[in-house]
């Protein structure tokens, strides 16, 4: 199988060509760094994305607080992550990087606060 991937690891946006039948014989060309190799391999077999959203918070001068996952989650779980985030309601104080949901949806990564609200 042949695939053209635009690497999104950094703003350089390398155009990478992938050719494979299985994970073992994958050949990548056009990447600019090692992180690109990891990203493009994932992109062929199990695409992942960092999930970000905002969740309800009480006691701050804004109604929503930004959150993100500590690492990428499988792409097909993004909508489920969003549904789960809608159920969350927090109260101040919250510190940036504080864990909101450990092992978020059993993805192995945590959902953390991305802002300090006191």
Token pair recorded at residue 57: 């918070």
Residue 26 or 70 having the CB closest to another protein: 70
Residue 22 or 110 having the CB closest to another protein: 110
Q: What are phi and psi of 70, to 5 degrees?
A: -75, -15
- Say if strands 64-69 and 111-113 run parallel, antiparallel, or are unpaired: antiparallel
Rg (CA), the chain: 18
Q: How far is residue 71's CA from residue 58's CA, in Å, rounded to a whole number?
A: 27
x-or-dash pattern for another protein, window 53-92, by CB under 8 A?
xx-x----xxxx-xxx------x--xx--x----------
Q: Which residues bind another protein (CB under 8 A)?
A: 6, 8-11, 13, 15, 49-50, 52-54, 56, 61-64, 66-68, 75, 78-79, 82, 96, 114-116
């Amino acid at each position: 199988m042949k695939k053209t991937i635009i690497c999104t690891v950094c703003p350089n946006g390398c155009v990478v060509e992938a050719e494979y039948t299985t994970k073992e014989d994958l050949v990548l060309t056009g990447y600019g760094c090692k992180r690109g190799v990891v990203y493009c391999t994932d992109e062929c077999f199990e695409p992942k994305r960092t999930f970000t959203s905002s969740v309800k918070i009480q006691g701050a001068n804004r109604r929503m607080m930004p959150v993100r996952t500590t690492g990428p989650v499988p792409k097909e779980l993004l909508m489920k992550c969003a549904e789960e985030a809608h159920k969350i309601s927090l109260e101040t104080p919250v510190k940036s990087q504080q864990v909101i949901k450990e092992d978020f949806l059993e993805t192995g990564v945590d959902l953390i606060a991305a802002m300090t609200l006191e």
